[in-house]
Amino acid sequence: MNKKFKDINTVSGTKKMLFKPSQLKNHRQKSSLQSLCGLKSAIAIRKNCRKISLPPKNMGFTLIELMVVVVILGVLASLIVPRLMGRTDDAKIVKAKVDISAIETALKLYRLDNGRYPTTEQGLSALVEEPSTEPLPVKWPQNGYLDRGQVPKDPWGMEYLYLSPGVHREYDIISYGADGAPGGEGIDADIKSWELE
């Protein structure tokens, strides 16, 4: 057997050499130096490749790229905007119904405190300002009955019509819709408190 190394058959059938401890240290240093040099050269190659493949920082978009983006945004806008535009009328109708429900709640609180609804002459302003005409309220809260401190207008900027006693119930609240006139269809249709239930 050679003094420098021994041949050993491994499971895979390849031969490995066993070094003496003094030779093993020199071999490890050489192999680690070679792998380190290989690693350094690999890092250098990567750095060079990165420098070549990355675009310069001051490079902007081309005119064609900008035009493609503008065309895509135009197509999306042409598909989405018409759908949203039809919804604004529906949203105004829903808001009018919500406003009427809020006014009805305030009217019910007024009646609980005073035993009656405000008269037509007192109007809905009796919910935000203490009435000065008969019948005067027995109890009136400092901040009124509506949260915002004012009677809301309908979504088309008109006052809600209030009748007490009403034609259909103890009180009636009406919004005349977009046209501001009685009757109508679609967005011009009247929104009536007695039809909300």
> In this predicted structure, what is the pLDDT of residue 139?
87
The radius of gyration computed from the CA coordinates of the chain, to the nearest angstrom, equals: 43
> In this predicted structure, what is the pLDDT of residue 61?
77
> In this predicted structure, what is the pLDDT of residue 54?
54
> In this predicted structure, what is the pLDDT of residue 1?
47
Mark 101-111 as b/e (b = at least 16 C-beta within 10 Å): ebbbebbeebe
> In this predicted structure, what is the pLDDT of residue 175?
93
Q: State the architecture of 86-192 in CATH terms.
A: 2-Layer Sandwich (3.30)
pTM of the model: 0.57
Please provide the DSSP assignment of 64-83 as one string: HHHHHHHHHHHHHHHHHHHH
Helix (H) or strand (E) holding 18, with range, is strand 15-19
Helix (H) or strand (E) holding 172, with range, is strand 172-175
pLDDT tens per residue across all 197 residues of the chain = 444 444 444 444 455 555 455 555 555 555 554 554 555 555 555 555 555 555 556 667 788 888 889 888 888 888 787 777 667 788 888 899 999 999 999 999 999 999 999 999 999 999 999 888 888 888 888 888 888 778 889 999 999 999 988 889 999 999 998 888 888 888 888 999 998 86
Structural domain boundaries in the chain = 86-192
| Spatial separation of the C-alpha atoms in residues 133 and 109, rounded to whole Å | 19
Phi, psi of 6, deg, nearest 5? -120, 145
